[in-house]
Amino acid sequence: MAGTSLRHSTDPIPCTNGEHNDGHEYALPSSDIGTCCRDDDGIPVVDFDVLVNGAADQRAQAIRELGRACEDWGFFMVINHGVPEELKEAMMETCKGLFGLPEDEKAEHQEAGPMDPIRIGTGFFSVVDGVRYWRDYLKMFTHPELHCPAKPAKLRDVAAEYSAKTRCLLLQLAKAISESLGLDGGRISEAMGLDSCFQILVANHYPPYTGGPDGVGMGLPAHSDHGFLTLLFQNGVDGLQVEHDGRWHLAKPLPGAFFVIAGDQLEIVSNGRYKGVLHRAVVGGERARMSMVSMISPCLDTVVEPVPELVAPDGQGLEFRGVRYRDYMEHQQSNKLDGKAALDIARVQRDTTRAR
């Protein structure tokens, strides 16, 4: 049912892998999680300070490595990023306060839909989920206009600062990504109008989970992000998994690092050179997990399409057609989260019969 929060640790944990009495299959089929998760340290690391302030040869090397990270993984860690640790902590703590508020103080935003600027909910979009995912979330549109729940009182100021600092970082990364594609630093930003970008912050809260036969549950199923570029950090509890080379990898952060996640709009604008990476959140254990997401995208009315420089002059190899970002986001957010299925609305359908 829309707008209900998860049962929390003091409540009895509902049974999993079966029908809960509200007709939803509860939390997860753990068979969906699979066994292929590998904990490894191969996730690329990008030093933001070198990217911005390094000597020419160091910068060039860092840009090449960034390009490889985007091409091979669509996922990397960024270190020396300049976003103060105290600000990250303040953001995490304030959002934790929000999840702990009495239900009636969150009710105003719990009936919200995918395009509402403030939304508090459970699962992904519980109206369509079918399966109940082990996740509570707060989503707020923070740029160009800051939307924020009235409580906790501190949230507005903290979110404003966090949004501004992470936006600045993401826009600088966009420049470096543009260079890594062999384009001018400003080209991708110009093509997508990122000077007036759209930004969302998401706080995810995954309560302790000890249900199911193996004590593992699905917090958020496999998906790619609908935006351009996402920054994420967590509260010290692992659970983010990333798909790479056909296997799931547990993402373990370096101290202080952000994860950077390539989104669908990067895949479209780069004509598929850099792909939106599949990722998911798995839960299990006595500790609540939280993650904090900051995502930039083009403004809602921008039609996103591949930059011509990355498409052959005769149009051969054009992977995507232009899609208005608002339509893309609404489509992805209103349907069941299903891997990268949303991208199909932008994919150029090839006539395979003609080649025969």
Ligand X SMILES: O=C(O)CCC(=O)C(=O)O
Of Fe ion, ligand X, none, which one sits near residue 187, judging by CB under 5 to 8 A according to partner kind? none
Closest distance to ligand X from the beta carbon of 329 (Å)? 12
Selected binder of ligand X within 281, 282, 342, 346 (CB under 6 A):
281
**Residue with smaller CB distance to ligand X, 37 or 318:** 37
Among 179, 225, 267, 305, the residue binding Fe ion under the rule CB under 5 A is: 225
Show the CA angle centred on residue 212, arms to residues 208 and 217, nearest 5°: 55
Does 267 bind Fe ion (CB under 5 A)? Our answer is no
Instruction: Choose the contact partner of 281 out of ligand X, Fe ion, none; CB within 5 to 8 A by kind.
Output: ligand X
* Nearer of residues 225 and 243 to Fe ion, judged by Cβ: 225
Residue 176 found at the interface with ligand X (CB under 6 A):
no
Measured from the CB atom, the residue of 178 and 291 that comes closer to ligand X is 291
DSSP string, 290-340: EEEEEEEE--TTPEE---GGGS-TT-TT--B--EEHHHHHHHHHHS---BT
Q: Which is nearer to ligand X, 275 or 279 (CB)?
A: 279
* Residue closer to ligand X, measured from CB, 67 or 227: 227
Beta bridge partners of 230: 261, 295
Cα end-to-end span (Å), the chain: 50
Q: Which stretch in 18-26, 46-54, 232-240, 323-331 sits in contact with ligand X by CB under 6 A?
A: 232-240
CB burial of residue 1 (10 Å; 0-12, 13-18, 19+): exposed
**Euclidean distance between CA atoms 224 and 303, whole angstroms:** 19
User: Hey, which residues does 260 pair with through a beta bridge?
Assistant: 76, 231
- How many residues make contact with ligand X (CB under 6 A)? 11
What is the 3-class SS of 74-97, one letter each residue? CEEEEECCCCCHHHHHHHHHHHHH
CB of 58 to Fe ion, least distance (A): 31
- Residue 202 interacting entry, from Fe ion, ligand X, none, C-beta within 5 to 8 Å by type: ligand X
What are the CA-CA distances from residue 239 to residues 7, 234, 252 (Å)?
A: 19, 9, 9
Residue nearer to ligand X on the CB measure, 83 or 202: 202
Q: In the bound complex, what is the minimum distance in angstroms from residue 292's beta carbon to ligand X?
A: 9
246, burial (CB in 10 Å: exposed 0-12, middle 13-18, buried 19+) = exposed
- Report which residue's Cβ sits closest to Fe ion: 225
Among 66, 98, 293, 307, the residue binding ligand X under the rule CB under 6 A is 293
Percent composition of the chain: helix, strand, coil (DSSP 3-state, to 5): 30, 25, 45
Count of residues touching Fe ion (by CB under 5 A): 1
Q: Does residue 204 belong to the site contacting ligand X (CB under 6 A)?
A: yes
Binding track over 105-134 against Fe ion, x by CB under 5 A: ------------------------------
347 DSSP assignment: B
Which of 106, 132, 275, 279 is close enough to bind ligand X by CB under 6 A? 279
- Give the span between the Cα atoms of 3 and 106, in whole angstroms: 9
- Determine if 202 is a binding residue for ligand X (CB under 6 A): yes
**Cβ closest to Fe ion, residue 65 vs residue 225:** 225
Q: Where are the alpha helices (DSSP H) in the chain?
A: 48-53, 56-72, 85-99, 103-106, 126-129, 155-180, 187-192, 264-269, 325-334
> Helix/strand/coil (H, E, C) string of 148-173?
CCCCCCCHHHHHHHHHHHHHHHHHHH
Of the pair 67, 74, the CB lying nearest ligand X is at 74
Binding region for ligand X (CB under 6 A): 202, 204, 220, 225, 232, 239-240, 279, 281, 291, 293
Binding region for Fe ion (CB under 5 A): 225
